[in-house]
Amino acid sequence: MTARQIAESVKAGKISALEIAAQALELARTEGAELNAFITLCEDEALQIAEGIDNKVKAGGYGRSLKSREKGETDKTSELAGKPGGLLAGVPVAIKDNICYTGCRTTCGSKILENYIPPYNATVVEKLLEAGAVIIGKTNMDEFAMGSSSETSYFGPVKHPLDKKRSPGGSSGGSAAAVARGIIPLALGSETGGSVRQPASFCGLYGLKPTYGAVSRYGLVAYCSSSDVIAPFARDTEDLALIYRVIAGHDEHDATITSDLDGGNVGINVKKKFKIGIPKQYFAWELSCDVSPVINLAIEALENAGHEFVDISLPLTNKAIAAHYIIAPAEASSNLARYDGVRYGLREGGDKKLKDMYLRTRTEGFGSEVKRRIMLGTYALSAGYYDMYYERACKVREMIRREFIDAFKKVDLIITPTAPTPAFRLGEKLKDPLAMYLCDVFTVPSSLAGVPAVSVPFGAIENPESKINMPVGVQFIAPHLKEASLFQISAILEQLKK
C-alpha cells in the first residue's frame, strides 16, 4: 500500500494502525535484518503511538468515529485533509540514524555514539508525529554520513535489496533499502552531496533533495552545516510530495529556514510542459555504457510528450567535487570536535592526562573514513592554507550557484543522470576514496548551489553476473524553492514509464 492508502484506510477505520505497525516491525526484524538496514528498532514507542492513533480514530479524532459512521450520523468534526494532523495517520516510517528521536538511540553509524540517546526530538520528527506517522526505527548509514555506499558504518554494511552483493548507495543506504524492500512506504535520509538521490537511483526509488532552508535541520547531527538537508524517499511521486508537505516549512529553532516557505504548496500538474536544459558537461563524463541509453530514453519520452529540450552549459561542473571535498571535510572537522569523551558519547582512557583521553576516545571511536575527512578538513583550515583551500573552495561554490541562477533564466528544469553507474559491488570502491567520491559527481553541484533536485527511477539494466535488473535514476534540478516543478516532472515521467 502507498502511504496515502494507509493513512486514508486508518482514518476511515478500515485497517488498524497497530496492525500495520506490528507488520512493519516484523518485516524490519526479518527482511530488514537480512539487508542490515536498521541499527535500532523503536518497537515500544511505535506500538504505543499506533495504539493511540487507533484510539483517536475510534473517538472521531480524524473525522467521524466508526460508530457514528455506522449510524449515519452527521460528521461534527472537520476532517484534517490538507493539514499535517492526519496526512500520515498510521503510516510506518523510518528515519536515518543521524536524526534525533527521544527515547531511541542516535548513533550516526559510529562507535563514538553507540549508546547515545538524545534528550529532544528533531523538528522533522515532531512534524511526522504530529501528522500521525509511526516511526518504527533508525536506519543504518555511512558513519556520520561520510560515504557513498553505506559501508563505513560501525554496524556493518547495508546490502542492496535486489542483490545482496551490491551496495544500496550511501550514505542513506538503510533508509533506501527499507523502502525498496517494502518494509515501509516512506523514510527520511539526509543529503550533503547526494546521499539520498544516489541511493534512490541505485534502489529504484523517488528521492528528493529539498532546497537548502526548506526543511529544518534542527535535530540533524551536523556533518557539513552549509550543505546538509533532511530528505525523503518514497516509491511514487505522490507519496514523495506528501512527506515533503509534512516536513517542510517554518521552524523557530533553525535560523536557516526560508521564512516565507509554504510546505503545503506542492500540487502536481502532469499537463504542464517544461523547457528542460541538457548540460553538456554532465553528458561528456564517462558514463557507464548501461546508464547513458536509459537517460537518453527518458529524454526521448519527454520530448515525444511535448516537452522542449535545449542544450546549456555549466562549465564549473568539473570543479564541484574538488570544492565539495574541501568544504565538507573542513566543516566536519569543526562539527566533530565536540566528540571528545567529556560531555557525551564514548569515553576511553584514564583521567590523568586530558590529552590522552581525547586521543584514545577519538582514535577508537571514529572509523577510518571519518578520520580521513577530519584530517583533510583540519589541514584545509590550518594557518597558511585557509585562503589557499577553504576560502577558494567557497568562492567556487558561489560561482557554481550563480551558474545555476543564469541557467534557470533560460530553462525551467535541468536533466542529468543521477549517478554515473548502477549499483556497484560491496567493497569495490572502499580502498579507492577518489573513486567513491566520484559517485556523487552529478549530485554535488546542485548541493553546493543549494537548489532542489529529485531522482526519478526510469528503466533498469541487467547485471551480467547475477542476471538481476539494476535500477537507473534520472535527475531533475529546479530553481530555488521550486520543488513543485520537480514533483510535476517526476509524476509526468512516472506516467510515461507506465
CATH code at position 476: 3.90.1300.10
End-to-end distance of the chain based on CA atoms, in angstroms?
A: 18
Domain of residue 467, residue span: 1-66+85-498
**Distance separating alpha carbons of residues 64 and 86, to the nearest angstrom:** 13
Tell me, what DSSP letter sits at residue 342? S
**Percent of the chain at pLDDT above 90?**
82
Tell me how crowded residue 24 is: count the other CB atoms within 10 A of its CB.
27
Which DSSP helix (H) or strand (E) runs through 21? helix 17-35
Average pLDDT over residues 362-391: 95
Average pLDDT over residues 359-383: 95
Average pLDDT over residues 378-397: 94
Q: Which residue has the higher pLDDT, 6 or 464?
A: 6
Residue 75 placed within a domain: no
Average pLDDT over residues 329-338: 96
Give the number of domains in the chain.
Answer: 1
Residue 237 placed within a domain: yes
The strand ranges marked E within 342-443 are 413-417
Tell me, what DSSP letter sits at residue 387? I
Tell me, what DSSP letter sits at residue 104? B
Residue 116 CB-density burial (10 A; 0-12 exposed, 13-18 middle, 19+ buried): middle
Q: Say yes or no to pLDDT of 464 above 90.
A: no
Q: How far is CA 26 from CA 42, 75, 182, 184, in A?
A: 12, 36, 12, 11
**Distance separating alpha carbons of residues 420 and 90, to the nearest angstrom:** 37
Q: Say yes or no to pLDDT of 83 above 70.
A: no
**Distance separating alpha carbons of residues 130 and 162, to the nearest angstrom:** 34
Catalytically annotated residues: 96, 171, 195
Q: Say yes or no to pLDDT of 434 above 80.
A: yes
Q: Say yes or no to pLDDT of 75 above 80.
A: no
Tell me, what DSSP letter sits at residue 222? P
Range with lowest mean pLDDT among 180-194, 196-210, 223-237, 279-293: 279-293
**Distance separating alpha carbons of residues 21 and 121, to the nearest angstrom:** 20
Q: What is the pLDDT of residues 106-117, one digit of tens each?
A: 999 999 999 999
Q: Write down the pLDDT at residue 264.
A: 52
Closest to 194 in 3D by CA, of 160, 169, 226, 158: 169
Q: What is the pLDDT of residues 188-197, one digit of tens each?
A: 999 999 999 9
Tell me how crowded residue 309 is: count the other CB atoms within 10 A of its CB.
16
Residue 497: pLDDT band with limits 50, 70, 90: confident
Question: CB-side exposure of 148: number of CA atoms within 13 Å?
Answer: 31
The Cα angle at residue 240 between residues 234 and 242, in degrees rounded to 5: 130
Q: Write down the pLDDT at residue 76.
A: 28
Q: Say yes or no to pLDDT of 498 above 90.
A: no
Q: Say yes or no to pLDDT of 82 above 70.
A: no
Residue 44 placed within a domain: yes
Range with lowest mean pLDDT among 165-174, 221-230, 253-262, 295-304: 253-262
* pTM score of the predicted model: 0.93
Q: Write down the pLDDT at residue 261.
A: 63
Q: Write down the pLDDT at residue 268.
A: 74
Residue 152: pLDDT band with limits 50, 70, 90: very high
Residue 420 placed within a domain: yes
Q: Write down the pLDDT at residue 70.
A: 41
Residue 74 placed within a domain: no
Q: Write down the pLDDT at residue 54.
A: 95
Mean pLDDT (the chain, rounded): 91
